[in-house]
Amino acid sequence: MRRTIVALLSLATVLLGAVPASAVPAGTNNGWEPAPSAPWDVSAGVRCDFPVHGEPVVDEVVQRVLDTHPDGSAKRVAYKGDLVVRVTNTGTGAFYDADASGTAVVDYRTDGSQFWSVLGPVLVGVGEDRGNLPRGLYIIDGMYTLDINSTGYKTVNMAYGTQDDICARID
């Protein structure tokens, strides 16, 4: 537990840009680049009992590559910025604007798996028997890790935080 908290606090230092202002040339983006989120759709039964559409209504997320694999692909990437996703039940039109403005460092492994260290809210979708949470769409908020194995199975390990069931909000 202590190791997780220390790692997440270290993550906060990285994400908040602990670089002296004098070390950053004027007019640079300090390595941060836009990381826009695309709209998405899922069929009934995949996440919720009904079809769902998600689309960013606020998307100011930026990313910074912290490390690369020998082939040049991203190995470790930091993400930060405001993100609000409008999640809509396309059967009824009911929607919820989900604040997913968390910060994360994501390790991209060569086998296609990912390991996320997160502070704050992130929107996470889980399929049937595809994670340690029931099938659904969640805003997971707090200090936690998300391990996505190479088959897509998602394991959320909470140090502290909450889980908000978005399917229930728009049912």
| CB contact burial 117-129 (16+ within 10 A = b; e otherwise) | bbbbbbbbbbeee
Which of the pair, 137 or 28, is modelled with greater confidence?
137
What pLDDT band is residue 29 in, cutting at 50, 70 and 90?
Answer: confident
Is the confidence at residue 132, as pLDDT, over 70?
yes
Q: 102 vs 16, which has greater pLDDT?
A: 102
Task: Please report which confidence band the pLDDT of residue 22 belongs to, taking 50, 70 and 90 as the band edges.
Answer: very low
Strand partners of residue 125: 137
pLDDT band at 14 (very low <50, low <70, confident <90, very high): very low
The answer to whether the beta carbons of residues 102 and 116 sit under 8 Å apart is no
SS (HEC) of the chain: CHHHHHHHHHHHHHHCCCCCHHHCCCCCCCCCEECCCCCEEECCCCCCCCCEEEEEEEECCEEEEEEECCCCCEEEEEEECCEEEEEEECCCCCEEEEECCCEEEEEECCCCCEEEEEECCEEEEECCCCECCCCEEEEEEEEEEEEECCCCCEEEEEEEEEEEEHHHHHC
pLDDT, tens only, 80-124: 999 999 999 999 999 999 999 999 999 999 999 999 999 999 999
Residue 167: the pLDDT is: 99
Q: What is the mean pLDDT of residues 29-49?
A: 96
